[in-house]
Structure 1
Amino acid sequence: MISLTHIALHVADLEACVGFYQQYAGMYIIRDRRPHGEKGKRIVWLAERGRETSFIMVVLPGGPKKQQADNDFSHLGFALESKQAVDDIAEQADRDGILVWPCKQEPYPVGYYCGIKDPDGNFVEFSYGQPLGPGAEDCPNMVNLK
């Protein structure tokens, strides 16, 4: 058996990125370490509550800021519990000047989504109605993959 356990992002502004994922994605710090003592670079592990042992995001400092093109749809994806939750994220992101994809309904399996830009320039999708995460049970075309 194999399991995807984490993603590591090398970011230009560690503090801003940690704050972003805490505010927008509801993640929290599960490990905050400096591998070489106080003089070492800070490395932060973030997780969603209840998923601390299944999937985490590692944020490392000192990376180059990304310049993701508008037609580059590479992104991190977070599922939300409702369309209203997606709307709420989009409204906040619009106020913060980081909304890149306004809310849109697409056919299955894409669902309802918006996209925002994290402080490092990565696109982040927030969705409802995809066949994974919260709302998956409401997908009429869900396929049993077991």
Structure 2
Amino acid sequence: MSACSLTHIALHVTDLDACIAFYTEYAGLCMLRDRRPHGAHGKRIVWLCEQGRETSFILVLLPGGPPKKQSEDDFSHLGFALASKAAVNEIAAQAEREGILVWPCKQEPYPVGYYCGVKDPDGHFVEFSYGQPLGPGADDLIIKNEPSTSK
């Protein structure tokens, strides 16, 4: 099998503009593409990405589909790594003020780390975390927490 790389996730959303606003505000994503593949009156498809990762991973938002009905014990989610616990706390405080916090801040053992969960406008859960072996600071965490492979 040849090399394979995860490049995007595509989500159907009922309110495209509200979801764009959420992911740009909460996750800091940037608009990469805003297109209508079937002309001016066709459905609008939006590509969002992290600054500097335009060619490696994107979130595609597609209009249509039912809103996601997710219970608080359903841990299906999109995950975003942040640079500090304070940044996670800020997201959680904002989400609580806006009535969309679903998992308050919690510290779990490695590799889960410190996280909170927020509901996007369409009902998808979004995790914001610090201290996972992914994203900012991951190299230091992996070295500190993984068993040695040397003999």
The residue type equivalent to 1:58 in the other structure is V
**Structure 1 outlier segments of 4+, above 6 Å:** none
User: Structure 2: which 5+ runs fail to align?
Assistant: none
Of the candidates 70, 73, 76, which is equivalent to residue 71 of structure 1? 73
Q: Which runs of 5+ in 1 are unaligned?
A: none
Cα separation, 2, equivalents of 1:119 and 1:71: 19
Query: Counterpart in 1 of 2:15?
Result: 13
Match of 2:135 in 1: 133
1:120 corresponds, among 110, 114, 122, to 122
Aligned residues: 145
What's the TM-score once normalised by structure 1's chain length?
A: 0.96
Contact 1:115–1:125 (CA under 8 A) maintained in structure 2: yes
Identical amino acids, percent of aligned pairs? 74
Give distance in 2, aligned partners of 1:143 and 1:67.
39
CA distance in 2, matches of 1:117, 1:48: 20
Give the structure with higher Rg (CA): 2
Secondary structure of the corresponding residue to residue 29 of structure 1: strand
Q: Tell me how far 1:137 sits from its aligned partner.
A: 2.7
1:119 is displaced (CA, Å) by 0.3
Letter paired with 2:108: E
Normalising to structure 2: TM-score of the pair? Answer: 0.92
